[in-house]
Amino acid sequence: MADGKHIKARGRKGCWYIGVDLTGDVPNAKYGSEGENKFDWFVYFQQLKKIDYPLKYLGSDGNSDIYQSAKCHFPLVRHQTCCEHYLRKMDRIIGYRKIIREKRQLECAIELKIRLLIKQMLFAKTYDEFLKHWQSILYFPHKNPLIDFIRKDIKRNFTFLTAHFLDNQIPRTNNLTESFIKQLKRRLK
């Protein structure tokens, strides 16, 4: 699992590129420029390749730079987008927090129903259950641009959202990396 985070340490702010494997080991960590970018991810995976790291699975927050850079050095790598990150992305698109904060649940029932279906789909226990919820979103009876956009985005990311069903060694979330980064931030204060 890989993630990039802006961390301020000793008065300097920059982006850390960090990977954590399933055992909790950190095979590579790289300090890069101020902003997360494709070049630094490319160098990160290049360094992993140089140490003959056997990268088979990659979990990320859905940043396409991570996946594309990994594919350059590890063409057979399987990628899983973190379901937590994807749900937060959908929440921003739907405006979920604003709906809850402004107590507009009744007038935004369609948006909340779609959000529930997305959450059920992402955290389904089986692939069949995932597909059932995907079908509900795909054939949702209301027509509006928001729902059309969500359908297109899920279609575009479908293989990255379902990799963990095809191989049970691939985690559904990036929680291990996120936990490591929180610990790193605490220690560098």
For 96-113, write each residue's pLDDT tens digit: 999 988 989 888 999 999
The rounded mean pLDDT for the chain is 90
**Residue 6 corresponds to which tokens in the numbers above?**
């802006």
Q: What is the pLDDT of residues 6-49, one digit of tens each?
A: 887 777 778 888 888 888 888 888 887 777 889 999 999 999 99
Scan for tokens 């959000």, then name that residue.
115
Sign (positive or negative) of CA dihedral 102, 86, 27, 67: negative
* 152: confidence class by pLDDT, cuts 50, 70, 90: very high
Sign (positive or negative) of CA dihedral 74, 66, 52, 78: negative
Mean pLDDT of 40-65: 92
- The region of weakest confidence among 10-24, 53-67, 114-128, 149-163 is 10-24
∠ CA 26-3-163, rounded to 5°:
95
Mean pLDDT of 60-86: 94
Mean pLDDT of 164-177: 89
How high is the pLDDT of residue 86? 96
How high is the pLDDT of residue 139? 93
How high is the pLDDT of residue 137? 94
How high is the pLDDT of residue 120? 97
How high is the pLDDT of residue 107? 87
Compute, in degrees rounded to 10, the torsion defined by CA atoms 40, 45, 18, 23: 180
DSSP per residue over 43-107, as a string? HHHHHHHHTT----EEEESS-HHHHHHHHHH-TT-EEEE-HHHHHHHHHHHHTHHHHHHTT-TTT
Task: Evaluate if residue 189 carries a pLDDT over 80.
Answer: no
DSSP letter, residue 167 = -
Mean pLDDT of 80-89: 95
Higher pLDDT, residue 28 or 66? 66
How high is the pLDDT of residue 26? 86
How high is the pLDDT of residue 6? 82
